[in-house]
Amino acid sequence: MYIRLDADRPFSPVGDTEEEEKRKKQEGALFQTAAIQEEEIILGKKLGEGEQGCVYQGQWRGRAVVAKGASAKEEPTLFLTEFMEGGNLQEFFEAKGRAWRPSLLLVLQWARDLARALCCLHSHTPPIVHRDLKPCNLLLSASGHLKLADFGLSRVLGGGNETSTYTMTGVTGTLRYMAPEVVRCEPYNQKVSEGILRPAKEVDIYSFSLVLWFMCTGEMPLRSCSHNDFVMAARRKQRVRPPLYRILYKTLADLMARCWDDSSLARPSALQILGELEAMNPPDPLLPAASPRPSPSSPEYYLN
């Protein structure tokens, strides 16, 4: 049996049990059912192998796909996803070389694509938090558009229960893109005062800002920081951010600064971010640097 996972409309297996049907109703219309027959698939070269099975490149009705094997008790199952010819964003930059930088228009296109993906996840009922935004989890289509992948660490929140409390462990995701409250293993979606909740979705917003910095500079943010540096700085509530003087478009730099605010409650929503990105009309040539070069002792320059 083959299960199709379309890029725009994810699917789940045919023949759902009563428990699976109940789960789908709770998760909303994001998951729908569709299966395709074995004879419709042409498997190509093997791309990789993991604990859950093998990954192949293939063709389905003339469309390039990736077929991912899954463990099954009764029969083998392959999940099909769109084949992203551009690879992941990190590999794309590495292939271009250290001196290459994307145009501001291309950065805005990528940022808008990612913001749309977060809008889809965060506005779902109940909300979905990705929890592992980073360049290697962002795939590029043949046309250069960006799509979000790898939902292995994602979580469906609360089932509509806004008072639910969760805790993210510090081992979830990649430290340099991780919100400081996550590194500190603080509870999230927790009532911090009367009528105010700590919104778990905002951990994705923090990661978005670090990914955006990478898009603009082509460099790993805070590359000189070790694992222990991140952990100790988060515990001491020391501000660890990449320098904003590297971002030449001031409007974009200002958005980054708000997205990586120390307070999760102060960060904009994905919908707000998308609105601001859609409204941006960058000048040509670019504006001067967003801020003067900080001294090594300034908080923004800490450990970088």
**Range with lowest mean pLDDT among 19-28, 43-52, 255-264:** 19-28
pTM, 2 dp: 0.75
Residue 249 in this model has a pLDDT that exceeds 80:
yes
Residues of the chain with CATH 1.10.510.10: 89-301
pLDDT in the model for residue 186: 76
CB count within 10 Å of CB 253 equals 20
| H-only helix segments in the chain | 18-27, 89-96, 104-122, 180-183, 202-217, 227-235, 250-259, 270-279
251, two tokens: 């409007």
Residues of the chain with CATH 3.30.200: 2-82
pLDDT average, residue stretch 103-131: 92
pLDDT average, residue stretch 228-240: 84
pLDDT in the model for residue 46: 87
209 versus 191: which is more confidently predicted?
209
pLDDT in the model for residue 185: 80
Per-residue pLDDT band for 20 (boundaries 50, 70, 90) equals very low
Tens digit of each residue's pLDDT (9 = 90 or more) over 262-281: 988 899 999 999 999 999 98
- List all residues 6 or more positions away from 139 whose beta carbon is below 8 Å from its beta carbon: 84, 86, 87, 88, 89, 146, 147, 148, 149
3-class secondary-structure state, position 48: strand
Tell me which CATH code domain 2-82 carries: 3.30.200
Mean pLDDT in the chain? Answer: 77
3-class secondary-structure state, position 248: coil
Q: What are φ and ψ of residue 188, in 5° steps? A: -135, 165
Per-residue pLDDT band for 252 (boundaries 50, 70, 90) equals very high
Enumerate the active-site residues: 132
**Range with lowest mean pLDDT among 6-10, 72-76, 127-131, 135-139:** 6-10
Q: What are φ and ψ of residue 19, in 5° steps? A: -65, -40
Q: What are φ and ψ of residue 174, in 5° steps? A: -110, 125
pLDDT average, residue stretch 120-129: 89
Give me the helix-helix angle, 104-122 and 202-217, nearest 10°: 170
Residue 12 in this model has a pLDDT that exceeds 80:
no
Per-residue pLDDT band for 158 (boundaries 50, 70, 90) equals low
Tell me which CATH code domain 89-301 carries: 1.10.510.10
- List all residues 6 or more positions away from 39 whose beta carbon is below 8 Å from its beta carbon: none
